[in-house]
Amino acid sequence: MTSRRLASAWDPVIAFERADDGPWTLRDQSTGMLCRSGQDTADAALVDYAYLGRLALPDRQADVLVFTGIHPPGTLGVVQLIASDIGDLCAQVGDRRFAVIVQVAYDRETHEPQLVSLATPLYQHESAG
């Protein structure tokens, strides 16, 4: 199962959706906010979005960390966020399941993340275990 399917199937707040014109988008279902990669817009902005969440496996006996960008720069941004801010993330969510949409501004030439931020609150789901 792909990361997009995992997030959409197992997350109660954030979902991947296909836009009417085809590109993947991320939707915050609690607010209706739609996040679309700049690569998929007319102005080709240098911004991508990614999903990051700790989700329960179907048997609910264990969790899995799922992350994927709409495009590769989004995924790279989540990796940077995890590498640089894992302590802060853990302090905020503890052992609870969570999900968040991550916004990633990236370099035009290298596609390396330049600025990584949370586009939504850290939505905390039920306790793990």
Residue 8 class from Cβ within 10 Å (0-12 exposed, 13-18 middle, 19+ buried)?
middle
Nearest alpha carbon to residue 25 among 69, 67, 79, 73: 69
Mean of pLDDT values over 89-107: 93
Task: Indicate whether 10 pLDDT > 80.
Answer: no
Give long-range contacts, CB 8 A cutoff, 24+ apart: 25-31.
25/49, 25/70, 26/50, 26/51, 26/70, 26/101, 28/101, 28/120, 30/123, 31/120
DSSP 42: T
Q: What is the mean pLDDT of the chain?
A: 88
Note the pLDDT tens digit of each residue in 37-72.
999 988 889 999 999 999 888 787 888 899 999 999
